[in-house]
A and B are shown apart, each in its own frame.
Chain A
Amino acid sequence: MNIHEYQAKQLFEKFGIPCPKGAATSSAEEFSSCIDSLGEGLIVVKSQIHAGGRGKGTFTDGFQGGVKLAKTKGEAIDFANKMLGNTLVTVQTGPAGREVQTVYFTEGADIEKEYYLAILMDRATSKPVVVASTEGGVDIETVAEETPEKIFKAFVDPAMGMQAHQARKIAFSLGFEGKQAGACAKLIFNLYKMFWETDASMVEINPLISTPDGGVMALDAKVGFDDNALYRHKDIVEFRDLNEEDDKEIEASKFDLNYIALDGNIACLVNGAGLAMATMDIIKHFGGEPANFLDVGGGATAEQVTAAFKIILSDENVEGILVNIFGGIMQCDIIAEGVIAAAKAVSLDKPLVVRLEGTNVDKGKQLLAESGIEITSADSLADAAEKIVEIVKAQ
C-alpha cells in the first residue's frame, strides 16, 4: 500500500525525521488558512498523487508542473487552484494521469546540497538495506548505472536493528562533518526505526537536503507498506486513499481476488498467480492483448467466480474472456458452476473460451456443455489462447 507525501511527512514527524513545516487540504476554501499556518517566506505548492515525477508533470489543461514554488501567498493560492481537481500526467501515471484531490503546502527550504536516502528490504540478503547517495534530486537508477561509486549501502541485521556506527558511517560517506554528520546519522537512525516499526516495504527521501544553518531534512517522502502486515497497523490503513486505486481493483479486493487492470481487450480468469501471469503472456504470444491479471486463488468459491466475472465485464474494453483453470485443490466442476452462474447473472454477451484441466475435469466440462451457454472449450492453454485471440479479432 502506498501513501501520499503529506501522510508520509506526518509519520516522519512522529519518528523525529526533520522536514519542512507543511499543511495539506482537499478544499480550496482552506488554502488560505493552510498557508497562514506556515512561516514567512517562499511557499512550495505540491500536488498529492501516488506517482513520482510530479515536478516535471503536465496537467491535462496544459498547466505545467505538479510542484511549484510561490513567492507570495496570492501566487501559492493561484497555483493550488490550478492543481486541485485538475489531472496531472507524469512519467509514472500513464497518459490518463491522476486527478489531484489534495494540495500540500510547505515552507520553502534553503538548500545547500541535495542527497538521496532510502531503506528497503534486500531480497538477495533477506536484510533491510540503507541506500544513500551524494546525488540527490535525480533518478537514482541512473546514478547507480553511471556512477555506482556515488552510492553507499549498509545492510542491517534484522534481529539487532540499525547500529549507531552504521548510521554514522553513511553520514560520513555522504561528506557530512561535525554536528551536521550527527544530525544526518540521527535522521538515518530514526528513518530505520520507522521503516521497521511500520512494516514499510520502502521509504525513500529524494532529495534529502543539507541547509546552510547546519540542518539536514527530508524535502520529499515516498513510503510504501507491506500489504501482508497491514493487519497490525490500523493507523496506517487509515491512510489508504481509494481515489488512487482502480475501482475494479477495489471491488476485487473485497472478494479476495487478485485483480490488476491492463489496457487490452481479452479478459482472463485464472487460478494461481504464476499461471495467471503465464496466461497473459500466452494471449500476447498469439497476438492478443490481455485486459487484466486475475488470480481467483487456490480455493475460490462459486460466489468469488461470479464476482470475478462481474469485475472483468465492467471493463468496457473487454471483447472476449478466457477462463483458464488447472484444478488441483480447486475442482473443475465448482469452477464450471461458478462460470455458469456468473454467465447467467450478468447475461453474458461476450465470447467465452474455457480451458479446464485437473480434478473433476470431465464433470466440469459436462456441466458447461449442458448449461446452454455459448462456450468454446479448449484442450490446452495454447489452444485456448489461440481460440480467444482468433474470435476477438474476427469480431
Chain B
Amino acid sequence: MSVLVNKDTRVVFTGITGKSGGFHAKLCMEYGTKVVAGVTPGKGGQKFEDAVPVFNTVADAVENEGANAACVFVPPPFAADSILECLDAGVELIIAITEGIPVRDMALVKKRLLETDSRLVGPNCPGVITPDQCKIGIMPGYIHKPGTVGIVSRSGTLTYEAVWQVTCAGLGQSTCVGIGGDPINGTSHTDVIKLFNEDPDTEAIIMIGEIGGDAEEQAAAYIKEHVNKPVAGFIAGTTAPPGRRMGHAGAIVSGGSGTAEAKIAAMMDAGIVVADTPSDMGQALLRAWGKA
C-alpha cells in the first residue's frame, strides 16, 4: 500500500494564501488529498477556496482540524521558522517544498528535529505521493498509478521521469518520496529505503541519486545488508564539472568526494541494478525484478 501518507492523512498547508502555496494546495485537493487547514499568520478566520479554514498558527490547525501532516510553502527567509512551528505543534510529518532555505537555518532545524518524534521530508523537494490516496507536493498527479514500486529521489523532474517509465511499463507506485536537493535535509535515502523495506506492499524499489555528499553510498550499504527486495537505481551528474553546484544546493563534487562514479560503484556492489541512462530506469527495475 504505502509509506508516510495515505487516504487518512490530514494535511495543513503553511503559506496557503500565497501564490504558489494556494495553487498547489488546490491541485492537491483536486487530487483527493484531505487538506484540512491552512496557516497564514494574520489571516486566521478566512476560508481558502470557500472550504478550508485558515488559522493564524499551526497549533490552532492541529487542535481544531486534527492535522497530522504539514506541507510547508513559505518563502525561504521564513521557511525554517514555519518548520520549527510545525515541530512545536507536534505535527508528525512535515513536508517542506520551499527551495532556497539557508543552510545555517537548516542546521538549527535539524538539531531541533532530532529532539522530536516528527519526520521532516525536504526541503527543496517535490513532496510525497501515494497514488490515488494522497498527494502532498508539486508533482503532477496523473503520471502516477497505484502499484507496488517505491521510488525515492533527490530530484523532482527526474522522479517524474522514473514514475512515468514505471507507469508506462504497466506497473504502479506504492509511494514516491522526494527527499530534496539540499545539503541538509530531514529524511535521507536510507530512511525511506528502510520504510519501503518494512512496507509489505512495496515489492520493489527505485532509488535515484545525484552527485554530492555520501547519502547514496550509505543507502547502498544499508541495502546490501538488509534489503532483499529488488532495487534499481540511477545517479545523475556523471558529466558534472567538479566544484560547481549543479542547480541543487547539495549537488556538488568537492575535493574528489561525492562523485557519480563512487556512488554507482557502491550501488552496484550492493546488488542494485544501475540504469545506464535516465531513459533506462524503468527497464533497469524490470531487470532487477527478473521481469525483463
Give residues in A with beta carbon < 8 Å to B: 92, 121, 123-124, 126-128, 140-141, 157-159, 196, 199, 201, 226-229, 231-232, 258, 260, 262, 270-285, 290, 293, 295, 298-299, 326-329, 357-359, 380-383, 385
Query: Assuming the A-B contacts A284-B238, A285-B276, A326-B157, are A260 and B244 also in contact, with contact meaning beta carbons closer than 8 angstroms in the complex?
Result: yes
Q: Is B171 an interface residue (CB 8 A)?
A: no
CB distance B104 to A196 under 8 Å?
A: yes
8 contacts between A and B (CB under 8 A): A123-B250, A158-B107, A273-B210, A279-B278, A283-B239, A299-B20, A358-B143, A380-B279
Q: How far does the alpha carbon of A299 sit from the alpha carbon of B27 in the complex, in Å?
A: 15
CB distance A275 to B101 under 8 Å?
A: no
CB distance A126 to B164 under 8 Å?
A: no
Q: How far does the alpha carbon of A199 sit from the alpha carbon of B247 in the complex, in Å?
A: 19
Query: Assuming the A-B contacts A228-B103, A274-B157, are A123 and B183 also in contact, with contact meaning beta carbons closer than 8 angstroms in the complex?
Result: yes
Looking at the assembled complex, report how far the CB atom of B106 sits from the nearest CB atom of chain A, in whole angstroms: 7
CB distance B236 to A277 under 8 Å?
A: yes
Q: Is B5 an interface residue (CB 8 A)?
A: no
Looking at the assembled complex, report how far the CB atom of B62 sits from the nearest CB atom of chain A, in whole angstroms: 24
CB distance B155 to A282 under 8 Å?
A: no
Query: Assuming the A-B contacts A277-B236, A278-B278, are A328 and B103 also in contact, with contact meaning beta carbons closer than 8 angstroms in the complex?
Result: no
Q: Is B42 an interface residue (CB 8 A)?
A: no
CB distance B210 to A277 under 8 Å?
A: yes
Cross-interface CB contact of A381 among B156, B161, B237, B249, cutoff 8 Å: B161
Q: Which of B164, B248, B277 is packed against the most chain A CB atoms within 10 Å?
A: B277
Query: Assuming the A-B contacts A199-B102, A280-B239, A281-B236, are A159 and B164 also in contact, with contact meaning beta carbons closer than 8 angstroms in the complex?
Result: no
Q: How far does the alpha carbon of A285 sit from the alpha carbon of B260 in the complex, in Å?
A: 14
Q: Is B73 an interface residue (CB 8 A)?
A: no
Query: Assuming the A-B contacts A123-B183, A326-B160, A358-B140, are A281 and B110 also in contact, with contact meaning beta carbons closer than 8 angstroms in the complex?
Result: no
CB distance A272 to B184 under 8 Å?
A: no
Cross-interface CB contact of B279 among A141, A273, A282, cutoff 8 Å: A282
CB-CB < 8 A to A281: which residues of B?
A: 236-239, 260, 277-278
Q: How far does the alpha carbon of A158 sit from the alpha carbon of B161 in the complex, in Å?
A: 37
The A-contacting residues of B in range 155-171, CB under 8 angstroms, are: 155-161, 164
CB distance B244 to A199 under 8 Å?
A: no
Cross-interface CB contact of B111 among A126, A196, A272, A282, cutoff 8 Å: A126
Cross-interface CB contact of B249 among A228, A275, A278, A329, cutoff 8 Å: A228
Q: Which of A127, A196, A274, A383 is packed against the most chain B CB atoms within 10 Å?
A: A274
CB distance A123 to B241 under 8 Å?
A: no
Q: Is B274 an interface residue (CB 8 A)?
A: no
The 5 A-B residue pairs with the shortest CB-CB distance in the complex, in nearest-first order: A274-B155, A273-B247, A272-B157, A382-B279, A274-B158
CB distance B77 to A232 under 8 Å?
A: yes
CB-CB < 8 A to A380: which residues of B?
A: 279
CB-CB < 8 A to A123: which residues of B?
A: 183-184, 212-215, 250
CB distance A326 to B161 under 8 Å?
A: yes
The A-contacting residues of B in range 126-150, CB under 8 angstroms, are: 126, 138-140, 142-143
CB-CB < 8 A to B211: which residues of A?
A: 277
The A-contacting residues of B in range 92-139, CB under 8 angstroms, are: 100-108, 110-112, 126, 138-139
CB-CB < 8 A to A199: which residues of B?
A: 102-104
Query: Assuming the A-B contacts A290-B239, A382-B279, are A278 and B234 also in contact, with contact meaning beta carbons closer than 8 angstroms in the complex?
Result: yes
CB distance A358 to B238 under 8 Å?
A: no
CB-CB < 8 A to B103: which residues of A?
A: 121, 199, 201, 226, 228-229
Q: Mark B186-220, 1 if CB is under 8 A from A, else 0.
A: 00000000000000000000001011111100000
Q: Is B44 an interface residue (CB 8 A)?
A: no
Residue in chain B with minimal CB distance to A295: B247
Looking at the assembled complex, report how far the CB atom of B163 sits from the nearest CB atom of chain A, in whole angstroms: 10
CB-CB < 8 A to A92: which residues of B?
A: 243
Query: Assuming the A-B contacts A123-B213, A158-B108, A282-B278, are A358 and B247 also in contact, with contact meaning beta carbons closer than 8 angstroms in the complex?
Result: no
Query: Assuming the A-B contacts A228-B101, A229-B104, are A277 and B247 also in contact, with contact meaning beta carbons closer than 8 angstroms in the complex?
Result: yes
Looking at the assembled complex, report how far the CB atom of B185 sits from the nearest CB atom of chain A, in whole angstroms: 9
Looking at the assembled complex, report how far the CB atom of A266 sits from the nearest CB atom of chain B, in whole angstroms: 11
Cross-interface CB contact of B156 among A232, A274, A283, A290, cutoff 8 Å: A274
Q: How far does the alpha carbon of A201 sit from the alpha carbon of B153 in the complex, in Å?
A: 24
CB distance A226 to B160 under 8 Å?
A: no
Q: Is B251 an interface residue (CB 8 A)?
A: yes
CB-CB < 8 A to A299: which residues of B?
A: 20
CB distance A126 to B143 under 8 Å?
A: no
Q: How far does the alpha carbon of A7 sit from the alpha carbon of B251 in the complex, in Å?
A: 27
Q: Is B22 an interface residue (CB 8 A)?
A: no
CB distance B246 to A227 under 8 Å?
A: no
Q: Is B10 an interface residue (CB 8 A)?
A: no
CB distance A228 to B100 under 8 Å?
A: yes
Q: How far does the alpha carbon of A326 sit from the alpha carbon of B183 in the complex, in Å?
A: 24
Cross-interface CB contact of B140 among A127, A140, A226, A328, cutoff 8 Å: A328
Q: How far does the alpha carbon of A358 sit from the alpha carbon of B212 in the complex, in Å?
A: 28
Looking at the assembled complex, report how far the CB atom of B108 sits from the nearest CB atom of chain A, in whole angstroms: 5
Query: Assuming the A-B contacts A232-B77, A277-B236, are A126 and B153 also in contact, with contact meaning beta carbons closer than 8 angstroms in the complex?
Result: no
Q: How far does the alpha carbon of A383 sit from the alpha carbon of B155 in the complex, in Å?
A: 22
CB distance B184 to A121 under 8 Å?
A: yes
Looking at the assembled complex, report how far the CB atom of B257 sits from the nearest CB atom of chain A, in whole angstroms: 9
Query: Assuming the A-B contacts A272-B155, A272-B157, are A126 and B107 also in contact, with contact meaning beta carbons closer than 8 angstroms in the complex?
Result: yes
CB distance B247 to A293 under 8 Å?
A: yes
CB-CB < 8 A to A141: which residues of B?
A: 255-256
CB distance A282 to B277 under 8 Å?
A: yes
CB-CB < 8 A to B240: which residues of A?
A: 277, 280, 293
Q: How far does the alpha carbon of A328 sit from the alpha carbon of B24 in the complex, in Å?
A: 12
CB distance B104 to A226 under 8 Å?
A: yes
Looking at the assembled complex, report how far the CB atom of B161 sits from the nearest CB atom of chain A, in whole angstroms: 6
